[in-house]
């Protein structure tokens, strides 16, 4: 009987050792964070219009991704993920000189399941906009110049004045006087009129660039991919 008890205890000890060997240390480790590197470009579609005529510093900017972002052949930011930004600076065009300028920074990324990440992004390009170009200052877009348009306004009013002066007097002198008056009117019109504002309509394509690397929870990235596939 004594030997039987010893044998049972030995078997129990072996079983306990095997249980310890199968402890959680052998379980697979949790998935690591996904890192999207700095410099990654993300194509966006604007969901709310922007106009420097009425925009204010601090106004929110609402966009959504137009194309998926992949990392190591895996989609980590799906299309139609919401992106929120803010207007950091607004400058209206001047009447004599100075073009309209608009600076936008992006600060929040919201996945379809509500997962929210703080975003270090700035406006890199505005390929869907007309008559605007990027400035050297980060995240800033500037309206193109309109010297040709101003010269056309002066020439048009000068021509109209010359025609009216010539018809009224029937002489070359009258046409010259009318042309001079028309030029002055055209110049005054240019000086009293502001340059063109920057206007981004809803749906305008914008390009955002990550200023720093972005860490994402892999679980939410998987959920985002599943949501896209179900659409």
* Predicted pLDDT of residue 93: 80
**CA–CA dist 223, 128 (Å, integer):** 30
Q: What is the pTM assigned to this prediction?
A: 0.64
- In the chain, residues under CATH classification 2.40.128.260 are 31-146+196-230
Q: How far, CA to CA in Å, does 175 sit from each of 151, 168, 181, 195?
A: 20, 9, 10, 30
* Predicted pLDDT of residue 23: 45
Q: Is 136 helix (H, G, I), strand (E, B) or coil?
A: coil
pLDDT in tens, 62-75: 999 999 999 888 88
Q: Is 87:62 a contact under the CB 8 Å cutoff?
A: no
pLDDT confidence bin for 99, thresholds 50/70/90: confident
**CA–CA dist 77, 81 (Å, integer):** 7
**CA–CA dist 43, 65 (Å, integer):** 6
User: Residue 180: enclosing H or E segment and its boundaries?
Assistant: helix 172-192
CATH code that applies to domain 31-146+196-230: 2.40.128.260
Go through 185-212 and write b for each residue having 16 or more CB atoms within 10 A of its CB, e for each that does not: bbeeebeeeebbbbbbeeebbbbbbbbe
pLDDT confidence bin for 211, thresholds 50/70/90: very high
| Nearest C-alpha neighbor of 194 from the set 135, 150, 160, 132 | 150
Q: Is 183:165 a contact under the CB 8 Å cutoff?
A: no
């Amino acid at each position: 009987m004594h030997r039987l008890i010893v044998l049972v205890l030995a078997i129990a000890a072996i079983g306990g050792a095997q249980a310890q060997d199968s402890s959680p240390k052998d379980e697979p480790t949790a998935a690591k964070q996904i890192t999207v590197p700095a410099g990654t470009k993300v194509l966006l579609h604007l969901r709310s219009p922007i106009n420097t005529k009425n925009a204010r510093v601090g106004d929110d900017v609402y966009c959504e991704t137009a194309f998926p972002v992949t990392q190591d052949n895996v989609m980590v930011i799906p299309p139609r993920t919401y992106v929120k930004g803010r207007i950091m600076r607004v400058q209206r065009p001047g009447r004599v000189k100075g073009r309209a300028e608009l600076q936008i920074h992006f600060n929040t990324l919201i996945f379809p399941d509500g997962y929210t990440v703080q975003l270090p992004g700035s406006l890199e390009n505005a390929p869907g906009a007309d008559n605007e170009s990027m400035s050297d200052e980060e995240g800033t877009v500037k309206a193109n110049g309109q010297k040709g348009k101003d010269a056309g306004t002066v020439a048009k009013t000068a021509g109209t004045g010359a025609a009216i002066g010539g018809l009224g007097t029937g002489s070359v002198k009258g046409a010259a006087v009318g042309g001079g008056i028309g030029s002055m009117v055209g110049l005054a019109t240019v000086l009293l009129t502001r340059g063109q504002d920057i206007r981004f309509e809803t749906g305008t394509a914008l390009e955002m660039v990550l200023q720093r690397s972005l860490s994402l929870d892999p679980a939410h990235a998987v959920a985002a991919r599943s949501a896209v596939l179900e659409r």
